[in-house]
Structure 1
Amino acid sequence: MSDWLTVTEGDAPLVIAFPHVGTDLADVEGRFRSPWLARRDADWWVDDLYAFAADLGATLVSTRISRSVIDLNRDPSGASLYPGQATTELCPTTTFDGEPLYKDSAPDEAEIARRRTRWFDPYHAALTAQIARLRTRHARVVLYDAHSIRSRVPRLFDGELPQFNIGTNGGTTCDPALAAKVQAICAASGESHVLDGRFRGGWSTRHYGAPDKGVHAIQMELAIRGYMDEPDTPTQANWPPPFDPARAAPLTETLSHILKAALAFTAEDA
């Protein structure tokens, strides 16, 4: 679709969004203190992890733009998704660990508006269009927002994150039956999981999820240890580790079951 936004259209009633897999720092790279730090918090290899989804007929929407340039899963107004908890902004000024990203001043209102127009708005226009396209053909459509994060980020959460973190914003963004199906599959995997824990769903999940209108949105935040050899402390020498399909195989199998269950849900009587 463009040099930074890719849309792979499928006919199944499932859209998978990848807002944080990009590492392109675009025309602001020179403003960052460290390009490596600006790329470190990407959702590494998540689009590779879900590559099988195209064979299920899913529509895939992904971006090459780094979340450090603009976070496509934040409220464009700048309002916090998690009041009272540490988080990063629409145009982040720090890493997940709180390290400053910029050499000098952070982006001002005019620069944030430019980045919204350049990247945020087209990304969400693409998501909106794909959901609308599929809703003309299907009574129910699932938007699945795909993410991952390091297992331990003390600034953001205590201890080790569960392997599967399912977000439905307290049951408001999808039918509880869909959330229950996903939860049961995660439990059957033998790995740790939680529903609406620390990650309850970002802006995309909350914005598009409208069960009464046939759009069921769910976020999956994976602990990154499930599919790559995660070091205790990321450094430029060890991060990111390469994607390991063999290591990821059990996780991929569970994710395949989840997406197939989402498709089965869309075929049920509404």
Structure 2
Amino acid sequence: MTEFDGEFSPAFEIAEPAVWRAPIIFNSPHSGSVYPNAFLNASRIDLEALQRSEDSFMDELIGHLIHDGFSVVRVHFPRSYIDVNREPYELDPRMFNGRLPSFANTRSMRVAGGLGTIPRVVGDGQEIYHERIHIDDALGRIETLYKPYHRALRRLINQAHQQFGSVILVDCHSMPSVGISRDEPKRPDVVIGDRYGTSCSPLIATVIEETMAARGYSTGRNKPYAGGFITEHYGSPATGLHTVQVELNRAIYMDERLRLRSDRFATVAEDFSRLAERLAEIPLDDLRPFQAAAE
């Protein structure tokens, strides 16, 4: 048991409609905003700095889709505490007291950047912890939060896949309106990540791009975000499992400095409803394994 368990329950929610409109799951893995007291005490930065790593309000933007016949998954623990959009054991040896498991991935680019399964820094590069944490704490978070979340998500995906023959997982994120590098070009309103065409049928990315563009959003694909572990791990178009990451520019729905919903929040939520409907209109025969394999 981790210190988190005694402070908040449940760690995540899966909401299924009474009747599925289509085999589409909207997932928000980074909007969690409940911070364990022990974690806050161990942090060298304040709560406001930690919150900059959140995909603030993304769970609210998609939450109403349950009423339209779509499944919704949302995580309540913060990504700065443990990040479910990583491999289970992307661990930085510099962070821990104690021996890491021999199978830990200590050399990934994400670990090098301080953004492993147990992050060392928040999004703008600030160090999180006063001192090293014990490896047993990290492994406890993986066992009690990370693994149950992925087991539940996998069950939901399999359930939809068995019922419909295919499934679309829309992994929903938000990004700062301005990148850390001054050389980075202006970010679009929506970035569609399909791991450069490998995690879903091209038709899905095209539908998202056309639907959002028609509603006035600028769009991009795979830059600066092509999709993380969830997109890569669950996307298998050849077997009818399609995963796509959708990154919203935070400036289109919130005040980034004040962390408040903007006047456009309701409009953006409504646009998500339209996007869900357009995805639901894709013929299932175009998404089933034999079709995906032939593309």
TM norm. shorter chain > 0.5: yes
Instruction: Assess, with a 3 A threshold, how the Cα gap between structure 1 residues 220 and 126 changes in structure 2: closer, same or farther.
Output: same
* Aligned-residue CA RMSD (Å): 2.4
Deviation at 1:175, TM superposition (A): 0.5
2:269 aligns with 252
In the alignment, what sits opposite 1:148?
174
For the Cα contact (< 8 Å) 1:140–1:266, is it kept in 2? no
2:282 to 260, 265, 270: 265
The alignment status of 1:97 with 2:99, answered yes or no, reads no
Normalised by the length of structure 1, the TM-score is 0.87
Task: Give 1:204 deviation, angstroms.
Answer: 0.7
Counterpart contact for 2:31–2:59, Cα < 8 Å: yes
Cα 1:266–1:206 shift into 2, 3 Å:
farther
Matches within 5 A, 1:95-134: 95-105=122-132, 107-134=133-160
2:99 aligns with none
Q: State the secondary structure of the residue aligned to 1:30.
A: helix
SS class of match (1:222): strand
Deviation (angstroms), 1:40: 2.5
Compute the displacement of 1:77 (Å). 3.2
8 A contact 2:193–2:222 mirrored in 1: yes
- Separation in 1 of the partners of 2:275 and 2:209? 9
Cα distance change on mapping 1:130 and 1:268 into 2, 3 Å = same
Q: Distance in 2 between matches of 1:204 and 1:122?
A: 14
Structure 2: unaligned runs, 5 residues or longer: 1-8, 91-104, 289-295
Note the C-alpha offset of 1:87. Answer: 6.4
CA distance in 2, matches of 1:60, 1:266: 21
Matched, 1:35 2:42: no
Shift of 1:56: 2.0
Shift of 1:95: 1.3
Aligned residues of 1:97 and 1:153 also touching (Cα < 8 A): no
Counterpart residue identity of residue 32, structure 1? S
CA distance in 2, matches of 1:149, 1:132: 29
CA distance in 2, matches of 1:52, 1:172: 29
| Aligned residue among 43, 52, 62 for 1:50 | 62
Task: Find the residue that maps to 2:125 and give its secondary structure.
Answer: coil
Greater displacement, 118-127 / 24-33: 24-33
d(CA) in 1 for partners of 2:181 and 2:239?
A: 37
Q: What are the Cα deviations for residues 107-146 of structure 1, in whole angstroms up to 9, with x where unaligned?
A: 3543322111011001101100101111121012110111
Structure with larger Rg? 2
1:156 Cα deviation after fit: 10
Counterpart residue identity of residue 52, structure 2: R
Quickly say closer, same or farther: Cα 1:6–1:156, change in 2 above 3 A.
farther
| Aligned equivalent of 2:188, options 162, 185, 188 | 162
CA distance in structure 2 between the aligned counterparts of 1:227 and 1:178, rounded to whole angstroms? 24
After superposition, the Cα gap between the structure-2 partners of 1:156 and 1:72, relative to the gap in structure 1 and judged at 3 Å, is: farther
User: For 1:83 and 1:67, how far apart are their aligned partners in 2?
Assistant: 14
Q: What whole-Å deviation, never above 9, does each CA across 1:12-71 have from its counterpart, x for those lacking one?
A: 311111111111222423211223322221111111111331122111111110101101
When normalised by structure 2's length, the TM-score is 0.80
Question: How far is the alpha carbon of 1:97 from its aligned partner?
Answer: 1.1
| Secondary structure, aligned partner of 2:264 | helix
Between stretches 193-202 and 5-14, larger displacement belongs to 5-14
CA deviations 1:213-255 (Å, max 9, x no partner) are 1111001011111111333xxxxxx3x22x24x4124423432
Quote the residue 2:16 is aligned against. 9
Residues 15 and 87 (structure 1), Cα distance of their counterparts in 2 relative to 1, 3 Å cut:
farther
1:189 Cα deviation after fit? 2.6
For 1:57 and 1:155, how far apart are their aligned partners in 2?
40
3-state SS of 2:56 partner:
coil
**Selected match of 2:83 from 47, 61, 71:** 71
Counterpart check, 1:19 vs 2:29:
yes
Q: Which residue pairs with 1:138 in the alignment? A: 164
Cα deviation for residue 9 of structure 1 reads: 1.2
SS of aligned partner of 1:137: helix
Distance in 2 separating the partners of 1:25 and 1:217: 29
Alignment size in residue pairs: 260
Contact 2:31 2:58 in 1 (8 A): yes
Is the 1:75–1:81 Cα contact (8 Å) retained in structure 2? no
1:196 lines up with 2:207 in the alignment: no
Aligned partners of 2:63 and 2:72 also within 8 Å: no
